[in-house]
Amino acid sequence: MNKEFFKSLFKDKKLRRSHPRLLIYQELSDAETSLSPQELYQCLLKKQRKIGLTSIYRSLDLFESLGIVFKIINGSSVKYKLCEIEDHHHHIICKACGNVVELNFCDISDWSKKVTESTGYQVIDHQLNFYGFCKACKKEA
Ligand SMILES: [Zn+2]
Ligand SMILES: [Zn+2]
Ligand SMILES: [Zn+2]
């Protein structure tokens, strides 16, 4: 996800693109890996950017709800990774090393139909994660 897309997303949603949010986005973008809120806090502090943990948590929650970041929960650790795919997509998470790969396909229309048939709900959204072992971890397992 590039900076222009990030900016336009906030404009479309009429959200304030505040300075801390932009810095947090930039940090995640530069990291190219997943970061915990504490790691983000430390990274920003090193650059003389004092942003409170609460505000980091709030921004990450917002980013997650907008589909900008993916929240990786592995045991007791929680990390966030900036999504590269801008449209609707899914993720597979390695249970051993926590590595995440984005999946640029989604083919669950039959499933949605079944949900509608059995519940009468009009399905508008869904979340689905895959878990497994990545190529490197699979060998060891
Ligand atoms: Zn993603
Ligand atoms: Zn792995
Ligand atoms: Zn999907």
Q: Which helix (H) or strand (E) holds 37?
A: helix 37-46
CA distances from 30 to 26, 43, 56, 74, 99 (A): 6, 11, 16, 22, 17
Q: pLDDT (tens digit, 9 = 90+) per residue, 77-113? A: 899 999 999 889 999 999 888 889 999 999 888 999 9
Compute the distance from residue 55 Cα to the ligand 1 centre, in Å: 22
- Ligand number, closest to the Cα atom of 112: 3
Q: pLDDT (tens digit, 9 = 90+) per residue, 120-140? A: 999 998 989 999 999 999 976
Compute the distance from residue 99 Cα to the ligand 3 centre, in Å: 20
For the entire predicted model, the pTM comes to: 0.82
Nearest-10 crossing angle of helices 37-46, 19-31: 100
- Token pair, residue 57, equals 């948590």
Compute the distance from residue 60 Cα to the ligand 3 centre, in Å: 21
- Token pair, residue 4, equals 């222009």
Residue type, 18: S
Compute the distance from residue 6 Cα to the ligand 3 centre, in Å: 21
How far apart CA 24 and CA 95 sit, in angstroms, is 26
How far apart CA 30 and CA 71 sit, in angstroms, is 17
